[in-house]
Amino acid sequence: MTDEEVIQELHAHNSIVCGLVTRLILELKTRALYHDVSKLNPPELEYFLIYTPKLRDTIYGSDQYKEYLKALGPALQHHYEKNSHHPEHFVNGLSGMNLIDLVEMFCDWMAATQRHNDGDIMRSIEYNQKRFGYGNPLADIFRNTVKFFGEPDKQAP
């Protein structure tokens, strides 16, 4: 190959990567705009109107938290069916997800910790590692991403 051919090949590679990243960005933008929209309509809305304020005051993963999730059962079942950013959407959990689902899930976790009075994304990553059975490499990627964003400020209740 000539130098010119190598340079052309490098440009072609960059162009392909740019196109793929752009597709990811467009899909993530769509996900951002429509995230959890199913919660705003029946059959989910009536449940979330009751349990969202209650969940705010619980410790993530506590017995009380799990009790509220159980009470949310029909709404959560519908929510998981409609939203692929939850491992419960898939028969094989996280293994059924794609990278876009995973990014949206992580952003959802970060936002949820800001809503809870005792929210702690690092603790959530550790809890969810046991809950969903992912390994240390993925947990490390999540922790590194938290560091990338910096510790989030809490939302006003």
Whole-Å CA distances, 122 to 26, 53, 63, 65, 139: 28, 22, 20, 18, 9
121 is a domain residue: yes
Contact call for residues 131 and 69 (beta carbons, < 8 A)? no
* Tokens of residue 98, six digits: 């794609």
Whether 155 has a pLDDT exceeding 70, the answer reads no
pLDDT at 118: 82
> How many domains does one find in the chain?
2
Domain that holds residue 21: 1-34
What is the per-residue pLDDT across 77-111, written as a single tens digit (0 to 9) for each? 999 999 999 999 999 999 999 999 999 999 999 99
Instruction: Tell me: do 13 and 44 sit in the same domain.
Output: no
Vertex 118 angle, CA 117 and 119, to 5° = 95
Length of the chain: 157
What pTM value is reported for the model? 0.92
